[in-house]
Amino acid sequence: MTDVPRAVDRLDDLVSLDTGEIDRTIFSDQEIFDLEMKNIFGRAWLFLCHDTQIPKRGDFFEAPMGSDNVLVVRQRDGSIRAFLNTCSHRGNAVCRAEEGNVRNFMCTYHGWTFGLDGELVGVPGKSIFYKDKLDLSKHPLRKVAQLDTYRGFVFATFDETAPPLEDYLGATGRLGLDMIAERGDMEAVPGVQKFTVHTNWKFTVDNVFDYYHPQITHMSAFSVGLIPAPPDDFVEGGAKSDTGANLEVPFLPTDLHNFVVVGEYGHAISGPDQESLEVTAGTEPFAWRHKPEVEARLGRHGGRVAGHPHIFPSTWVTTNAQLSLRVPRSPDVTEIWWFSFRDRNSSADEQAASLDSQIHFFGPAGMLEQEDGENWAQSTLQTKGLKSREIPQLLKMGLGTSEVVKEDGLAFMDAPINEHAQLWTYHAWREWLRNPSWEELRERTIPRDRY
Ligand code: FES
Ligand SMILES: [Fe+2]
Question: Residue 233's pLDDT is what?
Answer: 43
Residue nearest atom 3 in ligand 1 by C-alpha distance: 110
Domain boundaries, the chain: 46-150, 170-211+252-444
383 contacts: CB under 8 Å, gap ≥ 6: 24, 25, 27, 28, 200, 389
**One-letter amino acid of 24:** R
Do strands 113-114 and 46-50 pair parallel, antiparallel, or not at all (unpaired)?
Answer: unpaired
Q: Which residues pair with 49 in a beta bridge?
A: 154
pLDDT digits (tens, 9 = 90+) for 398-434: 999 999 999 999 999 999 889 999 999 999 999 999 9
421 lines ligand 1 (CB under 6 A): no
Q: Sheet of 15-16: strands edge to edge? A: 15-16, 21-22, 393-394
For residue 84, the CA-to-ligand 1 centroid distance in Å is: 14
Ligand 1 atom closest to 91 (CA)? 1
pLDDT at 322 over 70: yes
- Name the residue with the closest Cα to ligand 1, atom 4: 110
**Does residue 228 have a cis bond before it (omega within 30 degrees)?**
no
As beta bridge partners, residue 14 has none
What mean pLDDT is predicted for residues 172-178?
98
Ligand 1: residue of 83, 85, 90 to mutate (most ligand atoms within 8 A of CB) is: 90
Distance separating alpha carbons of residues 87 and 432, to the nearest angstrom: 30
For residue range 328-371, what is the model confidence (pLDDT) as tens digits?
Answer: 999 999 999 999 999 999 999 999 999 999 999 999 999 999 99
Query: Rounded to 5 degrees, what are φ and ψ at 85?
Result: -85, 65
DSSP symbol at 153: E
Q: Which residues pair with 194 in a beta bridge?
A: 337
Distance in angstroms (rounded) separating the CA atoms of residues 417 and 415: 6
Could you say which ligand is closest to the alpha carbon of residue 204?
Answer: 2
Burial of 6 (0-12, 13-18, 19+ CB in 10 A): exposed
Cα separation, 451 vs 449, whole angstroms: 7
CA distance 156 to 175: 19
**Nearest ligand (C-alpha, residue 94):** 1
Rounded to 5 degrees, φ, ψ at 21 are -115, 140
- Quote the CA–CA distance of 191 and 188 in Å, as a whole number: 8
DSSP letter at 4 equals P
Q: Does the beta carbon of 141 lie inside 6 Å of ligand 1?
A: no
pLDDT: which is higher, 411 or 240: 411
Q: According to the model, what pLDDT value does residue 278 have?
A: 81
CB 343 within 8 A of CB 183: yes
Beta-bridge partner residues of 393: 22
Report the alpha-carbon distance of residue 3 to residue 23 in Å, rounded. 16
Cα 345 from Cα 392, distance rounded (Å): 50
Sign of the CA dihedral 235, 237, 240, 246?
positive
Model pLDDT, residue 220? 84
Query: Which superfamily does 46-150 belong to?
Result: Rieske [2Fe-2S] iron-sulphur domain (2.102.10.10)
pLDDT band at 228 (very low <50, low <70, confident <90, very high): low
pLDDT tens column, 28-86:
999 999 999 999 999 999 999 999 999 999 999 999 999 999 999 999 999 999 999 99
Q: What is the CATH number of domain 170-211+252-444?
A: 3.90.380.10
